[in-house]
Structure 1
Amino acid sequence: MPFNKRSTLKKVFSIGALSTVLFSTLFTGNESAKAVTNSPVAINEVAWMGTTGSYNNEWMELKNSTSQDVSLTGWKLKAKDGTPAINLSGTIKGGSYFLLERSTDDAVVGVKADQIYTGALGNSAEALELYDANGSLVDTVSSWYAGDNNTKATMERVSAVDSGDVSTNWKTATAAYDGGYGTPKQANSTGTTQGTVHHLNHVSNADGAINVYFNKTALPQFAYDGNEANWSINLEDQLVNRISQATSSIDVATYELNLPKIVNTLMDKASQGVQVRVVADAKDVDPNDTENRYGIHRLNLEKLIRGKDLVVGTADDAHVLGDSAMFVEEDATLRAKYGLPATFDDFPVQTVKIGSGNQTGHLLVDAERKADGTYYSPGDQMHNKFMIIDGKWVWTGTWNFTETGTYGTDEDMNQDLLNGNQNQTVEINSVDLASIYKTEFQEMYGSSAAAPNPTNAKFHSRKTDNTAHQVNVNGTLVEVYFSPGDGALNRITNAVKNEAQHRAYFEIFAFSDQTLVNELKYKWEGSYNDMEGTRTGFDMKGLFDPSFWNQWWSASVDMTQRTASQTSVDNPNTRWNTPAPVYAGKESRKLHAKTMIIDPNTSSDPMVVVGSTNWSSNGDATNDENMLLIHSDKIANQFLQEFYARYQVAGGQVPSQEAFIQ
Structure 2
Amino acid sequence: MRTKKVSLSIISMLFLLTGGLVQPQGEWNKRAEAATQSAVINEVAWMGTTGSYNNEWIELHNPASADLSLDGWVLEAQDGSPSIALSGTVPAQDYFLLERTSDSTISNVAADQIYTGSLGNSNEVLYLKDASGAVIDEVNSWYAGDNTTKATMARIDSSFSGTVSTNWSTATTSYEGGFGTPKAANNTAASGSGSESLTNVSEELGAINVYFNKSASTQYAMPGNEANYNVNLEDRLLKRLNAATTSIDLATYEINLPRVIDALMNKAAQGVDVRILADAKDATDPHYTERYETMRLYLEKLVRGQDGVVGTGDDAHILSDSPMFVVEDPTKRAAYDLPASFTDFPQRNVTVGSTATTGYMFVEGEYKDTDSYYSPGNQMHNKFAVIDGEWVFTGSWNYTVTGLYGSEENMNQGILDGNQQHVVEVHSPELAGIYKTEFEEMWGSGTTTPDNTVSNFSTRKIDNTPHSLTIGEDTVEIYFSSGDDAVGRMTELVKTEADENAYFTIFAWSDQALVDELKNKWEGSYVDNQGTLTGFDVKGLFDPSFWNQWWSASIEMTGRTASQTSTNNPNTRWANPAPVYAANESRKLHAKTMLIDADTNSDPTVVVGSTNWSENGNNVNDENMLIIHDDAITNQFLQEFNARYVNAGGVVQ
Fold in common (TM above 0.5): yes
The letter for the 2-side match of 1:425 is V
The letter for the 2-side match of 1:281 is D
1:288 aligns to what? 286
Distance 1:76 1:612 in 2: 46
The letter for the 1-side match of 2:467 is H
Q: Which of residues 499, 502, 514 in structure 2 aligns to 1:501?
A: 499
The structural deviation recorded for 1:144 is: 7.9
1:620 aligns to what? 618
2:309 corresponds to 1:315: no
Identity score, percent: 52
| 1:331-365 deviations in Å (ceiling 9; x for gaps) | 22222222211211111211112112221000010
Distance 2:570 2:61 in 1: 47
The letter for the 2-side match of 1:284 is D
2:70 aligns to what? none
The structural deviation recorded for 1:288 is: 2.3
2:125 aligns to what? 129
1:596 aligns to what? 594
2:471 aligns to what? 473
Other structure's SS at 1:342 match = coil
The structural deviation recorded for 1:77 is: 5.7
Q: Which of residues 561, 564, 572 in structure 1 aligns to 2:559?
A: 561
1:69 aligns to what? none
Q: How does 1:102-501 map to 2 (within 5 A)?
A: 102-104=86-88, 106=90, 109-110=93-94, 121-122=115-116, 124-125=118-119, 128-129=124-125, 139-141=140-142, 155-156=153-154, 171-172=170-171, 174=173, 180-183=183-186, 188-189=188-189, 191=191, 195-286=193-284, 288-289=286-287, 292-501=290-499
Other structure's SS at 1:414 match = helix
2:649 aligns to what? 651
Distance 1:110 1:637, change over 3 A: farther
The structural deviation recorded for 1:624 is: 0.3
| 1:150-190 deviations in Å (ceiling 9; x for gaps) | xxx853279x99999xxxx962353999964444xxx9458
Count of aligned pairs between the two proteins: 576
Other structure's SS at 1:386 match = strand
Distance 2:174 2:245 in 1: 44
Other structure's SS at 1:493 match = helix
Distance 1:154 1:526, change over 3 A: farther
Distance 1:272 1:482 in 2: 32
Other structure's SS at 1:292 match = helix
Kept after mapping to 2: 8 A contact 1:83/1:119 = no
The letter for the 1-side match of 2:550 is W
Kept after mapping to 2: 8 A contact 1:381/1:624 = yes
Segments of 5+ residues of structure 2 without an aligned counterpart are 1-8, 16-22, 31-39, 50-54, 63-73, 97-111, 129-133
Other structure's SS at 1:370 match = strand
Q: How does 1:60-139 map to 2 (within 5 A)?
A: 60=60, 78=77, 80-84=79-83, 102-104=86-88, 106=90, 109-110=93-94, 121-122=115-116, 124-125=118-119, 128-129=124-125, 139=140
The structural deviation recorded for 1:459 is: 0.5
Kept after mapping to 1: 8 A contact 2:199/2:228 = yes
Question: Considering only aligned residues, what root-mean-square deviation do their CA atoms show, in Å?
Answer: 3.7
Distance 2:522 2:564 in 1: 26
Distance 1:415 1:430, change over 3 A: same
Q: Which of residues 578, 582, 585 in structure 2 aligns to 1:584?
A: 582
The letter for the 2-side match of 1:346 is D
Distance 1:173 1:283 in 2: 33
1:95 aligns to what? none
Other structure's SS at 1:428 match = strand
| 1:286-328 deviations in Å (ceiling 9; x for gaps) | 3524870000111111111111111111111010000011100
Kept after mapping to 2: 8 A contact 1:125/1:143 = no
Normalising to structure 1: TM-score of the pair? 0.80
Kept after mapping to 2: 8 A contact 1:212/1:230 = yes
Kept after mapping to 2: 8 A contact 1:212/1:424 = yes
Other structure's SS at 1:425 match = strand
Distance 1:504 1:163 in 2: 35
Distance 2:304 2:26 in 1: 50
The letter for the 1-side match of 2:425 is E
The structural deviation recorded for 1:554 is: 0.5
1:89 aligns to what? none
Distance 1:111 1:85 in 2: 17
The letter for the 2-side match of 1:356 is S
The structural deviation recorded for 1:562 is: 1.9
Instruction: Please identify, of 480-489 and 122-131, the stretch whose mean Cα deviation from structure 2 is larger.
Output: 122-131
Distance 1:613 1:108, change over 3 A: same
Distance 1:155 1:302, change over 3 A: same
| 1:109-162 deviations in Å (ceiling 9; x for gaps) | 3589xxxxx99654855574258999xx9934499856999xxx853279x999
Kept after mapping to 2: 8 A contact 1:84/1:120 = no
| 1:544-584 deviations in Å (ceiling 9; x for gaps) | 11111111111100111123455557735211110010001
Distance 1:467 1:287 in 2: 34
Kept after mapping to 2: 8 A contact 1:79/1:129 = yes
1:18 aligns to what? none
Distance 1:142 1:417 in 2: 16
Kept after mapping to 2: 8 A contact 1:257/1:401 = yes
Distance 1:77 1:362 in 2: 69
Distance 1:239 1:8, change over 3 A: farther
Kept after mapping to 1: 8 A contact 2:144/2:154 = no
| 1:363-411 deviations in Å (ceiling 9; x for gaps) | 0100110244521111100000000000010000100001111111111
The letter for the 1-side match of 2:494 is V
The letter for the 2-side match of 1:561 is G
Distance 2:431 2:250 in 1: 15
Distance 2:605 2:573 in 1: 28
